[in-house]
Structure formats: structure tokens, C-alpha cells
């Protein structure tokens, strides 16, 4: 009987020990699981979380869609001109051509007629003159009057002045008369007519325009051309007497 009680007591102690070990194992598993979770998902810095939450909240409250253009008053942009590159707010006005007075227009047309006339006679002299000095003089006139005529044409275009394309009858008659001459007679007539008489007339015309013209470009053109015309007259006066005649001064 005592032996039986002793055995039952030992069984009870074994069962109690088993339950105790089982409870300890469950507590260890719970502790390990908590530790693993803590290691896998570390907590964020509380200050960073608060800052991010504050910024997101402010953005949602001020602009729910995230597009700042939707917050503008549509009336603010109506009627405004584009100001992008290459698109000025207001177009630049086109500069109007300066109108010339009647005296300035007459100067341009007279200068054009004289320049065309003298160029035509100079070209004739380069082929028809018999004296080499006259030929050289004529070649100088061709070069200088061609350049002056081109400058005059450009000036007239800027001022909307239509220059004559044909010579006045009296000038055409002079060309026709000299065309029929040859040898020393042609040389003398060319030098006396173009070199001396016509260049004196030209100088008077251009001097007046350089003083009286109101338009700056017209005045400057006249002033800039004068030295060339004076050089032409001086060169004609310095030609040999044999080619300019007794009255060639």
C-alpha cells in the first residue's frame, strides 16, 4: 500500500514537471517572435514621421489635385499677350520712309540725269577717243560715275523717289552729236563738254544741295560726291592743250 502511494506520487511529480517545461517553451517562443518582429521592422524616427505627415496634410488642404495652375483665377490670364521668346508683347512699328520736299526730289532727278549722261559719254570716249590721256580720263569717269549712280539709286529707293530712266532731249542730242565725231575733234569736244562745262554745272548743283537740303542723307550724299566731281574738273583742266582746245580752262 505504501509502495503504491509512493509510485502515484512520483507520477504526479513527473506530470507537473512536464507542464512546467511546456509553459517555459511557450514563453521562449513568444519572446523570440517578438524579438524577430522588432528586428525586421524597425520603428521610424518619430520626428521624420511627424514632418512628413504635416507636409502631406498641408499639401492636401491647400491643393487637393497637386496642380497649382488650377488655383489661379482664370480671369487673370484673359487678354494677356504671349511673352515667350520671339513673341514681343507689342509689334515694333515699321519705320516710314522720310518724305522729301520738291527741291530735294528735283536734285535727285537732276543728279541722276547728269550721272547717266556723263557715264554714257565717258563710255563712248573709252572706245572713240584718239588721245591716250583722254582715254584714261574717260575710264576714270566711267568708274567714278558708275559708283555714284549706284549710291544715288539706293538713296532714291529709300526715299521713294522714282528716278528717270531716259535722258532729257537736250542731253541726248549732245550724245548724238559727239557720236558722229572722230579723232582730235572728238577729243576736244568731249573734254570741253563733259570734262569742263558739265562738271562745273555738277559742282554748282551738288554744292547747293549740300548746303540747303533738309534731308540728312541727301545732304550727305551731295557733300560726299563733291570731292570726286572737283577732282574730275581738275583732271580735265590739267589735260594737254592739244586735247582740250584753246578755251579749255
Residues whose CB is less than 8 angstroms from the CB of residue 87 and which lie 6 or more positions away in sequence, other chains included = 81
CATH of the domain at 112: 1.20.1260.10
Residue 167 near residue 116 (C-beta atoms within 8 A): yes
Q: Is residue 165 part of a domain?
A: yes
Q: Is residue 82 part of a domain?
A: no
Determine the Cα–Cα distance for residues 159 and 217; give it in Å rounded to an integer. Answer: 10
List per-residue pLDDT tens for the chain, 249 residues long.
Answer: 454 454 455 445 554 544 444 444 545 544 454 444 444 444 444 444 444 454 444 444 444 444 444 344 444 444 444 433 333 333 333 334 568 999 999 999 999 999 999 999 999 999 999 999 999 999 999 999 999 999 999 999 999 999 999 999 999 999 999 999 999 999 999 999 999 999 999 999 999 999 999 999 999 999 999 999 999 999 999 999 999 876 666
Q: Is residue 96 part of a domain?
A: no
Parent domain of 123:
102-240
pTM of the model: 0.61
Quote the number of domains for the chain: 1
Q: Is residue 58 part of a domain?
A: no
Amino acid at each position: 500500500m505504501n509502495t503504491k502511494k509512493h509510485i502515484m506520487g512520483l507520477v504526479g511529480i513527473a506530470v507537473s514537471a512536464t507542464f512546467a517545461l511546456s509553459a517555459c517553451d511557450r514563453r521562449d517562443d513568444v519572446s523570440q517572435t517578438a524579438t524577430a518582429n522588432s528586428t525586421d521592422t524597425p520603428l521610424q524616427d518619430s520626428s521624420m514621421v511627424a514632418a512628413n505627415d504635416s507636409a502631406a496634410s498641408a499639401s492636401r488642404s491647400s491643393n487637393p489635385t497637386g496642380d497649382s495652375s488650377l488655383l489661379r483665377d482664370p480671369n487673370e490670364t484673359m487678354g494677356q499677350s504671349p511673352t515667350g521668346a520671339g513673341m514681343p508683347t507689342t509689334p515694333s512699328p515699321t519705320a516710314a520712309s522720310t518724305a522729301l520736299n520738291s527741291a530735294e526730289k528735283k536734285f535727285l532727278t537732276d543728279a541722276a540725269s547728269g550721272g547717266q549722261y556723263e557715264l554714257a559719254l565717258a563710255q563712248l570716249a573709252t572706245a572713240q577717243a584718239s588721245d591716250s590721256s583722254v582715254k584714261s580720263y574717260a575710264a576714270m569717269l566711267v568708274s567714278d560715275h558708275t559708283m555714284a549712280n549706284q549710291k544715288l539709286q539706293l538713296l532714291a529707293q529709300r526715299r521713294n523717289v522714282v528716278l528717270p530712266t531716259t535722258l532729257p532731249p537736250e542731253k541726248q542730242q549732245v550724245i548724238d552729236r559727239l557720236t558722229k565725231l572722230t579723232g582730235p575733234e572728238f577729243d576736244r569736244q568731249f573734254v570741253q563738254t563733259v570734262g569742263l562745262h558739265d562738271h562745273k554745272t555738277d559742282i554748282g548743283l551738288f554744292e547747293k544741295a549740300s548746303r540747303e537740303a533738309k534731308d540728312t542723307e541727301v545732304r550727305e550724299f551731295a557733300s560726299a560726291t563733291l570731292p570726286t566731281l572737283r577732282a574730275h574738273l581738275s583732271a580735265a583742266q590739267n589735260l594737254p592743250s592739244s586735247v582740250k582746245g584753246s578755251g579749255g580752262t
